[in-house]
Structure 1
């Protein structure tokens, strides 16, 4: 009887009531707009009358069969992957060095890393446009060295440079947080047992940083693939990425259903890539860490 009474005892409502505001905020700001965008992507668009209350899959077929949009998707994926790889290669050693710093240098360098996040991404992008322009500081430095000026602005190189600069803190902070949990005596024990510095980093430090690298790379890839200001200002009208194409369809062509279809395709592609990468890295981390 006691067991039956325990099983039929009503669950407390306090956890649900506490989670209700956050749930409503999530539904209202994320799920509902996504659902409306998905519905809009199936609407028929007529250039003479606008969006019609009719539904079709022609918008998705247009995007997936047009080489123009496929080339933009491939450029977005390629630049996002390249940005993520460079951010991992730069951010992981930077986070490791940060963990080995003592006070007050750790706080100073942490402020230097986080400081750019306090400046608008548009302002930072304008700064890079002045640095990489034809008469910018980079070409002036090349001229001083006796070298010919190079075209950096409105190229994929400029987009990647700015993306790495802006996304690097999102890689350093997760890796640094993961390495904070590592006991320094473990690495010292590996060195005292005859392991080289590289072996200690590869067998002791890197497996502990794997989850931080996973978190940081997912953030960097997602933000890079959906970046708008940097491709728009440094890539110009010629080098379009997915976000700039969606902007053009919404505000220039006024073809909202086609823009919504492009946005949904980019969202699904990002989710598929990030989930597959997440599962692959977590499987390797479990294998290494037991």
Structure 2
């Protein structure tokens, strides 16, 4: 008679490893393996006649770091991502504060309105903004109706930033709103009873509490904005390139996969460096604020 396979008990030291094994395997298969293959590909050479040359070299990285064309693309990408993050903070943090002060059922209604855009594809939203900002779109029609000359809105940096703010705003509102949920309202009421002004309460009590939410939200917004592809590709056009569209062109346009892989790796490393430095600076400031 075959022996039954005994399951590990709840006190078994191997149980946590068995429970996390499927997630770890999926992470290695779907994230780390493609990333390592992309890193390996970035060190290969390329010839327009023969294609990829499997010979280790650093020519692709040298080309990116020495060419001003790629410098301008990276600067434009991080400028757009930084500006989008600042605007999302300026709009999302007050919006989350107002949302936390709402009562039922308005809080649930406005929360659905905020999260509603996430239910629509990014491509669909980008097409919607292209229709609004085009030469004959609703925005220019309103400008002409007011008696002004139409503006060139589509295929500009402003169009990309506007659409990115619309897409990324929920990723700022939700972390800040979550931080405000942990805020004890009696603390602010006690400060007001001690003759503190509302501005002082907001600056000395509310802001330090929501700073972790602003930090996490800004990291998400910056990372997603810097690597965005659909919105810059549809609203920026072929001339206003960012890093993601440049990688796409190298892979599918010129078929220079090693150069496209090296640009993607540099974007990843630059993104990590900026986000970790930003996180470090804000964490130190947050620690000093709370003592």
Please tell me the TM-score bracket, short chain as reference: over 0.9
Matched with 1:279 is 280
Matched with 1:168 is 169
Structure 2 unaligned blocks of 5 or more = 1-10
Local SS of the residue matching 1:42: coil
Structure 1 unaligned blocks of 5 or more = 1-9
Q: CA deviation at 1:148?
A: 1.0
Cα RMSD after superposing both structures: 1.0
Matched with 1:6 is none
Between the aligned partners of 1:45 and 1:265, the Cα distance in structure 2 is 18
The answer as to 2:59 corresponding to 1:91 is no
The answer as to 2:210 corresponding to 1:209 is yes
Taking the TM superposition and a 5 Å limit, the aligned residue runs for 1:5-84 are: 12-84=13-85
Please list the CA deviations of residues 13-71 of structure 1 after superposition, one character each: whole Å capped at 9, or x if unmatched: 00111111111111111111111100000001111111122111000000110110110
Between the aligned partners of 1:28 and 1:190, the Cα distance in structure 2 is 52
Please list the CA deviations of residues 98-152 of structure 1 after superposition, one character each: whole Å capped at 9, or x if unmatched: 0000000000000000000000000000000010010010011111111111000
Between the aligned partners of 1:288 and 1:22, the Cα distance in structure 2 is 37
Q: CA deviation at 1:11?
A: 7.2
Between the aligned partners of 2:149 and 2:285, the Cα distance in structure 1 is 46
What is the number of residues matched between the two proteins?
A: 281
Matched with 2:225 is 224
Please list the CA deviations of residues 64-94 of structure 1 after superposition, one character each: whole Å capped at 9, or x if unmatched: 1011011000000101000000000000000
Q: Which runs of 4+ in 1 moved over 2 A?
A: none
Between the aligned partners of 1:134 and 1:184, the Cα distance in structure 2 is 49
Between the aligned partners of 1:59 and 1:115, the Cα distance in structure 2 is 42
Between the aligned partners of 2:54 and 2:145, the Cα distance in structure 1 is 62
Normalising by structure 1, report the TM-score: 0.96
Matched with 1:4 is none
Between the aligned partners of 2:46 and 2:275, the Cα distance in structure 1 is 32
Between the aligned partners of 1:238 and 1:50, the Cα distance in structure 2 is 26
Local SS of the residue matching 1:51: strand
Normalising by structure 2, report the TM-score: 0.95
Q: CA deviation at 1:189?
A: 1.0
Between the aligned partners of 1:238 and 1:87, the Cα distance in structure 2 is 26
Q: CA deviation at 1:192?
A: 1.1
Matched with 1:179 is 180
Q: CA deviation at 1:289?
A: 1.8
Local SS of the residue matching 2:46: strand
Between the aligned partners of 2:14 and 2:103, the Cα distance in structure 1 is 47
Local SS of the residue matching 2:53: strand
Matched with 1:134 is 135
Between the aligned partners of 1:18 and 1:287, the Cα distance in structure 2 is 39
